[in-house]
Amino acid sequence: MAILFSADHHLGHGKIIEYSKRPYLSAAIMDSDMIARWNYKVRNSDIVYYLGDLTLGESAEWYLSRLNGYIKILALDQHHDRKWLKLYRNTWTSKSGHPIELLPPIYTLEIEPYVFALSHFPMWSWDRKIYGAIHLYGHVHNNPGQLHLPNSMNVGVDVCSFYPVSIDDVLRMKN
């Protein structure tokens, strides 16, 4: 079992192709490729912590039912996922047959010897920062003008070749 992180797919959102200069001709092609990349990297037994902005649509069920792994999503009631989160009844499952779990919008994950502070937005400070906790975030896509602090990393698809990243990837790539 591996643990992976990802954010900012914006599935079904055609305008994100232009906004983030993604290499796709349409939302349908983007969705298909990103689902394939997710499933290439994520096995059925893996856990994926998803840091927000999966889709702008009214429902995420179609997408979630095609993704491998145990998916744990930071619930952002006031952001892009807000429409489908209102419909969530704890009954959706991933392609692997695992229920989708919702987490609070800021979540601390402890995996000895590491601590990960997860949020959709980059933060100046986070739980146990002074003790070496690693902050993982999304939201900023591939905007190079965003703040990059030591021990923090953008795990959004735009800066991770459209794949989820593993703990080993994070430890190699963080600032």
Structural domains of the chain in order of their starting residue, each with its CATH number: 3-173 (3.60.21.10)
Q: Are 119 and 74 in contact (CB under 8 A)?
A: yes
| Position 1 pLDDT exceeds 70 | yes
Number of C-beta neighbours around residue 68 at 10 A: 21
CA distances from 47 to 2, 70, 96 (A): 6, 5, 11
pLDDT at 86: 66
CA distance 54 to 50: 8
Distance of CA 67 to the CA centre of its chain: 12
What is the identity of the amino acid at 82? Answer: R
pLDDT at 81: 62
What does the block give as tokens for 110? 């402890």
Mean pLDDT of all residues belonging to the chain: 88
| Position 164 pLDDT exceeds 90 | yes
Angle subtended at Cα 158 by Cα 58 and Cα 162, rounded to the nearest 5 degrees: 80
- Tokens 């003008």 belong to 145
Cα–Cα nearest to 137, from 162, 154, 150, 151: 154
pLDDT at 175: 53
The more confidently predicted of residues 144 and 26 is: 26
Max mean pLDDT among 5-19, 26-40, 95-109 falls in 26-40
| Position 84 pLDDT exceeds 70 | no
List, for residues 13-57, the tens digit of each pLDDT value. 989 999 999 999 999 999 999 999 999 999 999 999 999 888 877
